[in-house]
Amino acid sequence: MQTDSRPLTINQQNFSFFGKGSKLNGTFHLKGQTFIACSIEGNLFLDDDSDLTIELSGSVKGNLHVHNLKIFGHVDGNISSSGKVILYPGSSVEGEVTAENLVIQPGANANFKAHTLK
């Protein structure tokens, strides 16, 4: 069997990474696995079932509409998840969370109202 060792072209890659130190403002509709290491003010929609990760240096002030969400940084706003939301140690969330599953690990700062979908 022959394998193709050519690198993926930009058209074949299906992820987004917003780097540390950047500041974004607006409404974002994204597809593919997404990593946020910057500061975002506005609403974010993940338009497929990919995961969203808020990195340790990342913060979002606005509403999130996602499937699965991993939070290491800070979210100030409402979260609507059709899958799982995980808050890791050192993370903080303020607002309202609606999710299929919610996991809050020891050391996470959770100051929100929560609803599960089941």
Rounded Cα–Cα distance for residues 104 and 86 (Å): 6
Distance between CA atoms of residues 14 and 102, nearest Å: 26
The structure tokens listed for 42 are 């506005």
pLDDT, tens only, 60-104: 999 999 999 999 999 999 999 999 999 999 999 999 999 999 999
Give me the domain span that covers residue 99: 61-118
Decide if 51 is inside a domain.
Answer: no
Under the banding of pLDDT at 50, 70 and 90, the label for residue 10 is low
What's the structural domain count of the chain?
Answer: 1
Q: Mean pLDDT over all residues of the chain?
A: 91
CA angle 103, 26, 65 (to 5 degrees): 30
- Mean pLDDT confidence for 32-45: 96
Residue 75 counted as domain residue: yes
pTM over 0.75: yes
